[in-house]
Amino acid sequence: MIRYTLTTLFAFALASAACLAQAGQTAIAEDFKPSTLNQPGQEYPQVNSQGYARFRIHAPKADSVRVSLGLGGRGGTILTKGEDGFWIGTTAGPMDEGFHYYNVTIDGGKFNDPGALNFYGSVRWESGIEIPAHDQDFYALKDVPHGKVEQILFPSKSTQTSRRAFVYTPPGYDKNTSQKYPVLYLQHGWGEDETAWSNQGRAHLIMDNLIAEGKIKPFIIVMTYGMTNEVKWGRIRDFSIEPFQTVLIDELIPYVDSHFRTLANRDNRAMAGLSMGGMETKTITLNKPDVFGYYGLLSGGVYSPEDLNGKAKPKLVFLSCGSKERPDGVKKAVTDLKAAGYNSVSYISENTAHEFQTWRRSLHQLAPLLFK
């Protein structure tokens, strides 16, 4: 069994959880609009054109209301009570572009913002907010042919239950009934689950748009729960890959290959994951080098040439992270891999941290490199 000491990896998540973009000295533009991730009809939270977020929460008899986002540290944004019983507050500076998890502390208890949709992260359903990004077009819902996201329940003898996975099938999958497709197995991070890549990551829309633009050959994506939350935060050394590896290799892949029209071989099977899902990807691809031909670690560590030595050669090693993480480590690893004769590509997401905007962009970069 391979063990990793990736506590440094997860330290990013803490440090960047409330990450602010460069704070400007200009005035706050009063062009706030509801976040696109609000619950239907909800006016708050709002975001402005500079990336500031404003929160408004009804709690007329509360003594303190604080939002976990906005000050770049543990403080978050302290809201101020108005005479109407609504607490209101604006982040101290612009937020990084893209998706952020947050929660609201009301009189010492942690709750969600009733205005925002919820997203599974930190082993709980958290509130989510979307800061419009300059490059948001690549994951926008557009008038193009759309694939499907299918919820499957597959039998798992090793865990004695039916387990859930989501399967993205590209547009045309139902029409082209003689065509078979490559498959990417795509893992979430610690504290998340199989809903993350669709809900937070918009993986299906990234794919629909890339396919509509003719930039990729259509493929299937499979997303399941990586059993990452069985380990407590900071106790990553205690994590054992075997239970999830068994589910993935011995149960899910055979199920997918027998229930979808897949190209069921190494050269048409990829595995990638973000953060702790990257750690899982590295471990499993090294344990099972005959199963996957393409590897991707998104803010999830690196491979060294020594890791790969003596095994079936991967067709691609893709390594990425945000520029606010440790891009030098990713770049150096890719330089080393290339020098050792491996096909390896790095990608650094500018001005983002250990958050989903990094991973949306990473998938957008990775997808065109797969199954060449």
Q: Where are the alpha helices (DSSP H) in the chain?
A: 7-16, 196-199, 203-212, 242-245, 253-259, 276-287, 305-308, 327-339, 356-366
Look up residue 9 and give its two tokens. 């990896």
Give the one residue of 109, 134, 214, 309 binding a second copy; rule: CB under 8 A: 109
In whole angstroms, how far apart are CA 176 and each of 148, 179, 213, 220?
14, 6, 19, 14
Give the Cβ contact number of residue 204 at 10 Å: 22
**By the rule CB under 8 A, 125 interacts with a second copy:** yes
Cβ proximity to a second copy, 34 vs 93, nearer residue: 34
**By the rule CB under 8 A, 84 interacts with a second copy:** no
**By the rule CB under 8 A, 234 interacts with a second copy:** no
Cβ proximity to a second copy, 79 vs 298, nearer residue: 79
Contact 255, 164 (CB under 8 A): no
Smallest distance from a second copy to CB 59, Å: 3
Site string for a second copy, 275-314 (x = CB under 8 A): ----------------------------------------
Partners of 34 in the beta sheet?
A: 46
Smallest distance from a second copy to CB 145, Å: 9
Q: Which amino acid is at 357?
A: Q
Cβ proximity to a second copy, 106 vs 263, nearer residue: 106
Size of the site for a second copy (CB under 8 A): 50
SS3 of residue 329 by DSSP: helix
Cβ proximity to a second copy, 155 vs 254, nearer residue: 155
Phi/psi class of residue 371: alpha, beta or left (left: φ > 0; alpha: ψ in -120 to 50)?
A: left
Give the one residue of 58, 215, 311, 313 binding a second copy; rule: CB under 8 A: 58
**By the rule CB under 8 A, 260 interacts with a second copy:** yes
Give the one residue of 1, 177, 306, 310 binding a second copy; rule: CB under 8 A: 177
Q: DSSP string spanning 142-208?
A: -SS---EEEEEEEEETTTTEEEEEEEEE-TTTTT-TT--B-EEEEE--TT--TTHHHHTT-HHHHHH
Give the one residue of 3, 148, 180, 313 binding a second copy; rule: CB under 8 A: 148
Report the C-alpha gap between 297 and 135 in whole angstroms: 22
Point out which residues bind a second copy (CB under 8 A): 39-41, 57-64, 85, 104, 106-112, 114, 117-118, 123-125, 141-143, 146, 148-155, 161-162, 167, 174-175, 177, 198, 204, 208, 229, 259-260
